[in-house]
Chain A
Amino acid sequence: MTVQANDPAISVASEKPASLRPTLEWIARRAEPIVIGLAAIVIGLALFSLFILAIGKSPAMLFQLMYTGGFGSWFSVQNSLSRAAPLLLTALCVALPARLGLVIIGGEGAVVLGGVAAAAMALPLVGSAPVFLTFILMAIAAMLVGGVWIGLAGFLRHYRGVNETISSLLLSYIAIALMNQFVEGPLRDPASLNKPSTKPLPQDYMLGHIPGMDVHWGLVIGVVACIVSWVLIEVTSYGFAARIAGGNVRAAQIQGLPVGRLIAGFTAIAGSFAGLAGMIEVTAVQGSANASLAAGYGYTGILVAFLARHNPLAIIPVAILLGGINAAGGLIQRRMGLPDATVLVLQGTLFIVILFCETFYGRFKIFNPDLWKRSE
């Protein structure tokens, strides 16, 4: 996609050696999102520090604890990685439709229903079907339900003109009500008293840990999903068509691209990833489907996707960073006597500043080689 400026006139005008110039241009074009993104994070942290100062606590101590709790030891790194696993998948649920120009914010609903679907699929099979087959069937059920749920928002967007941001959010509230109905009603384990949930899965039906680590396989599944999504968007013709449709729907339609199917397909794939996140929560963390499935992974995923500028590969480091911040939340709470919402405030601040910094893209000459010549 990058414009290769091999025009001899430009090379001659430049005082730099001609062989170095393409490399510098390559670096400049790729440096823009990284430099602006990092600057946004620094500004966000500075604003958050002011807030912490204003309530009379020490920001230095907070960041120190955040580092210790998130990445300071092998134990905390593993904790961060575990928390990053669902975020990888819920961020994809935002990032894939975003390539088509859609803002989907209802991933939480697909997570919740995916978890319920996985539990509902597994419970009758426990004891009779082989473990591996059960896992496959659970994943299929979770992805199917999640895909239908978010795919519906995409379908309605294209074929009925319903705004996908709002419909996906309404679907998310409906999904949580459905989960409560299932967990309180037909799927309720009578033994679960205060916290209604489905029957727990036996230990051998739980998703195990990656050998040598205290991190469940969900991380691997999430990373693979990110890589697959990257290939889908950047390498395949479907991804190319989706990016065109995201840039200009009319141009895509004139070119004869199946915009409707692209939108329905991409939102369905996105939703199936979020559904898979629900299955992982059930089989790796909770052991049963219950109200804890609505833990906000869908909403943090929105932040991760925007932070990564909807690039599936960039989602991997960002999700680990956010997972680390979440993991450090408990430590901050205990050591500094701050409420658990501290992490929410930090996330909100970062989110706002990062979106605000979108305005600086394309404003700095240094990142735009086409403008270099004029400044020289």
Chain B
Amino acid sequence: MNLGTATGRNKGIEPGAERAGRKNGRKFIYLSLAPVLLLFGVFAFLPIGWSLGLSVFKYNPLSGSALFVGADNYIRMLGDSVFLKSLWVTFKFVIIAVMVNIIITLMIAVAIQRIRTGWLRSLMRTLFFLPTIAPLAGTAIVWSTMFNFNHGLFNILLDKMHMAPIQWLSDPHYALYSVIMMTLWADIGYNIVLFIAGLDSIPDMYYEAAILDGASRWHIFKDITLPLLRRSMLFISVTTVVSYFQAFAQFQIMTKGEPFNETRVLALHIYEQAFSNSNMGYASAMATVFLLIILVVTLLQLKWGRTEWEY
């Protein structure tokens, strides 16, 4: 490897010029990084720091002063049944939605990849990606009308099948699953495209060798496709988990956390505590805990999903 340019050890260059070059190089690096660091600093790290600070105060934005309460906001969480319920609902939503998402998107991606006609393959990819383009808020409103008890599409279909109508969004047994259905419909396009890209990158020679050895389709999928998709799977699962942890719009529009807090995910609970109830300090403490939870889950995923091979 030639490090000549980077280290400035080319013969014939004066030490002074070398120092100046190195200095200029550093300047260029700092200058290039400055905008993005500034952006992250102002819009990511500063709010996180501010929120951390706020979490040890009792603060109502309408009041002129903030009262220092130490760890009280964090202790309060342990006895707050609504917070604990929303934590449980969040995990339930993330686990079910991510698992179903990955299974469905992988199956669809494999099916699309098997299509040999180019235009049909592109058409299918586009069709599945289309819902992703629509704004989530609009999609949530449309699905709310489809879930309507009296005139919604789903109950009309149940009626045609002579089945009793369901309170899709107000029955505690169905509400969360109804939102999961809508979320999956709106969101699977991304992961299908990512899985297709992952499948395309697996060299054909492995499949050819397996076919020559007489492997069945299931064995090919289990022993070649799945292991070689591990890197894509890790990326998809990490981004989907983080994204579903932060799910908010569909819950705010479709259920507002009801019924009985069965759809009160943590992001919605934090928002309501902060902006409806003006408990900024408590909301910040919850946001801090939420940040740590997502961080730990992501680190665990990265650890368990690490791969140490190349092809």
Do the two chains bind? no
Q: Which positions in B face A, CB cutoff 8 Å? A: none
